[in-house]
Amino acid sequence: MYRDDQEAAFARIQVLQKELDDAQGQAVQDKQRIALLVGQLQATQQALARMGGQLQYQYPGQHDYQFPSRSGTVLTLGILSLAVCTVLGPIAWSMGNEEIRRIDSGLTSPMSRGSVTAGRVCGIVATCFLMLAAAMIFFMLVTIH
């Protein structure tokens, strides 16, 4: 019942939006009708918002993605690689690369691109520290007699 109400409100918004577009597209605009439609549209949008807006409608540009976003994992690993242990750097980096490849391919939501990039950059920095430490140890071993 609750879901039906939301769907009805969403359908009403679409109808009103179309009527508003038609009214605004006419050569001689009926300002009174446009104002009425705008008022009705806002009232319906507010009603939909009050219902919680939890229903996932297919707005333009919104898709069902093949893979769930792993941005949280990449960001967590990236932060851990910098704050806790550099060992996790290469893992965060490569996981971030894979996640960005999925975003670019349209397999994962692009909404989380920022988080993935942040985690990936943290992983790259941590890997640089790790490589630096490895290089320092290597040169130290070379100079030991």
Partner 1 sequence: MLARIAAAVFALSIAATLAIGALGPASWQSAVASDGPACPFKRITGLPCPFCGMTRATLAMGGGHWHRAFELHPFAPIVLAGIVVMLGLIIAGKTSSLLSGHRPQLILGAILTVWILRLILG
In this chain, which of 11, 15, 49, 137 binds partner 1, going by CB under 8 A?
A: 137
CA 52 – CA 2 distance, rounded (Å): 10
Out of 86, 112, 115, 117, name the contact with partner 1 by CB under 8 A.
Answer: 86
Contact 16, 40 (CB under 8 A): yes
What does the alpha-carbon distance between residue 39 and residue 17 come to, in Å, rounded to a whole number? 11
Alpha helix locations (H) across 1-145?
2-25, 31-50, 71-83, 89-104, 113-143
Residue 144 as a binder of partner 1 (CB under 8 A): the answer is yes
Residue ranges in 43-82 that form contacts with partner 1 under rule CB under 8 A: 67, 70, 73, 76-77, 80, 82
The piece of 4-12, 27-35, 57-65, 134-142 that touches partner 1 (CB under 8 A) is: 134-142
- The CA R_g of the chain, rounded to the nearest whole Å, is 26
Q: Which is nearer to partner 1, 44 or 86 (CB)?
A: 86
Residue with token string 């679409």: 14
What are the residues binding partner 1 (CB under 8 A)? 67, 70, 73, 76-77, 80, 82-91, 93-95, 97-99, 123, 127, 129-131, 133-134, 136-137, 140-141, 144
